[in-house]
């Protein structure tokens, strides 16, 4: 079962504090766990990122996140109906505006987004449905959305474009699996993920 996201951090305490404040503790029951690293984030976009709900007053929510230590970033998104920010260590995340498809709450974590190349879409969808024990609730030409239940506030969204895989992923999914050895493994597209008991 999908239980959380592991995030590499140069400063674990700072990152934990930032994300606890950024999500206001609203993570849909998922855990954000931080692992110490000495490696700086590379310049390329992460393959996995988080989406937060901006709520009815999304400009104020963006201002609040910037005051917490987030920064605006340009990853080539162009003119889109969401704001792209980065946490204090440069990990991209999005703040979704009201009316964004698939958002079921006004605050907190609403999506974990995994880049999936078009040719990997079906394999990744099947793989993550089996590992996460979440089911597809929406499937589009561009990708798929999984949820624990139809009313769960957090979804796993998979679709293109896929960022190049130049190094170990800085953000990784974490699953609990009673019949599998704990450790780090690769999904169908070579993305690392963690298994815990």
Over the stretch 101-136, which tens digit does the pLDDT of each residue have? 889 999 999 999 999 998 888 899 999 999 999 999
pTM above 0.85, yes or no: yes
Q: 2-196 falls under which CATH superfamily?
A: 2,3-Dihydroxybiphenyl 1,2-Dioxygenase, domain 1 (3.10.180.10)
Residue with tokens 């999984």: 146
- 3-state class of 82 per DSSP? strand
Side-chain-side CA neighbours of 155 within 13 Å: the count stands at 22
Task: Specify whether the CB–CB gap between 72 and 93 falls below 8 A.
Answer: no
| Res 141: pLDDT | 65
| Res 177: pLDDT | 87
What are the boundaries of each domain within the chain? 2-196
Mean pLDDT for the chain?
A: 94
- Type and span of the H or E element at 131: helix 121-132
Q: Encode pLDDT of 127-185 as tens digits.
A: 999 999 999 997 776 789 999 999 999 999 999 888 888 899 999 999 998 888 999 99
Look at residues 22, 157, 147 and name the one whose alpha carbon lies nearest to residue 100.
157
Task: Specify whether the CB–CB gap between 177 and 195 falls below 8 A.
Answer: yes
| Res 164: pLDDT | 83
| Res 179: pLDDT | 85
Residue 155 CA to residue 71 CA, distance in Å, equals 24
């Amino acid at each position: 079962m999908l239980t959380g996201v592991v995030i590499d951090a140069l400063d674990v305490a700072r990152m934990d504090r930032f994300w606890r404040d950024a999500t206001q503790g609203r993570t849909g029951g998922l855990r954000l766990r931080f692992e110490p690293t000495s490696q700086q984030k590379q310049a390329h976009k992460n393959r996995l990122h988080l989406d937060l709900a901006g709520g009815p007053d999304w400009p104020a929510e963006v201002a609040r996140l910037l005051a917490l230590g987030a920064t605006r970033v340009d990853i080539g998104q162009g003119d889109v109906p969401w704001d792209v920010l980065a946490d204090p260590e440069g990990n991209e995340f999005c703040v979704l505006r009201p009316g964004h498809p698939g958002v079921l709450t006004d605050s907190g974590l609403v999506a974990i987004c995994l880049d999936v190349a078009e040719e990997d879409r079906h394999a990744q969808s099947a793989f993550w449905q089996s590992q996460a024990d979440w089911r597809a609730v929406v499937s589009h030409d561009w990708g798929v959305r999984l949820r624990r239940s139809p009313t769960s506030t957090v979804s796993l969204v998979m679709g293109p474009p896929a960022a190049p895989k130049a190094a170990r992923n800085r953000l990784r999914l974490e699953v609990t699996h009673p019949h599998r050895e704990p450790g780090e493994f690769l999904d169908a597209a070579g993305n690392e993920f963690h298994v815990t008991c």
